[in-house]
Amino acid sequence: MKTEQVAKIKKRLISLRDEILKVIEWRDAPGGTNGAMDEIDQANELIEKEMGFVMSNNMRANLKEVEEALARIEKKHYGKCLHCGEEISLKRLDVLPFARYCVPCQEKMESRSR
């Protein structure tokens, strides 16, 4: 993968992480989310758009995935399937920048867990 592609994805992951952190902070803030709902909605919208799916309440799990992707970028392992070691297609990474597995491996795992 080209350096500038990785740099672009890294930027997206960092802003995604910031948005997720914001939502977690708001949710955990004493007094609930009073007054911050609009901002949370905006952040949620961005996260949903970035991730291509509606986020559950599982913000911390999502945060972990984003952080792991960033760690892989630092270690220069980014873009490779953690299962088979093949490069994950750019198209997939564009949709899911923190993807851990290539499409065939992901499908295999999903069909197994079903």
**Does 102 engage in binding with Zn ion (CB under 5 A)?**
yes
* Selected binder of Zn ion within 83, 92, 100, 108 (CB under 5 A): 83
Residue 2: exposed, middle, or buried by beta-carbon count in 10 A (0-12, 13-18, 19+)?
exposed
| Per-residue interface string for the shown chain with Zn ion, residues 30-69, x marking contact by CB under 5 A | ----------------------------------------
* Selected binder of Zn ion within 84, 90, 95, 109 (CB under 5 A): 84
Q: Which is nearer to Zn ion, 9 or 88 (CB)?
A: 88
Q: Are 88 and 81 in contact (CB under 8 A)?
A: yes
Identify the bridge partners of residue 80 per DSSP, sorted by sequence position: 87
Q: Which is nearer to Zn ion, 47 or 102 (CB)?
A: 102
We find the least distance from the C-beta atom of residue 84 to Zn ion, in angstroms, to be: 3
Q: Which is nearer to Zn ion, 84 or 95 (CB)?
A: 84
**Does 103 engage in binding with Zn ion (CB under 5 A)?**
no
DSSP assignment of 85-104, as one string?
A: -PBPPHHHHHH-TT--S-HH
Q: How many CA atoms lie within 13 A of 30 on its CB side?
A: 0
Q: Are 50 and 12 in contact (CB under 8 A)?
A: yes
For Zn ion, the binding residues (CB under 5 A) are 81, 83-84, 102, 105
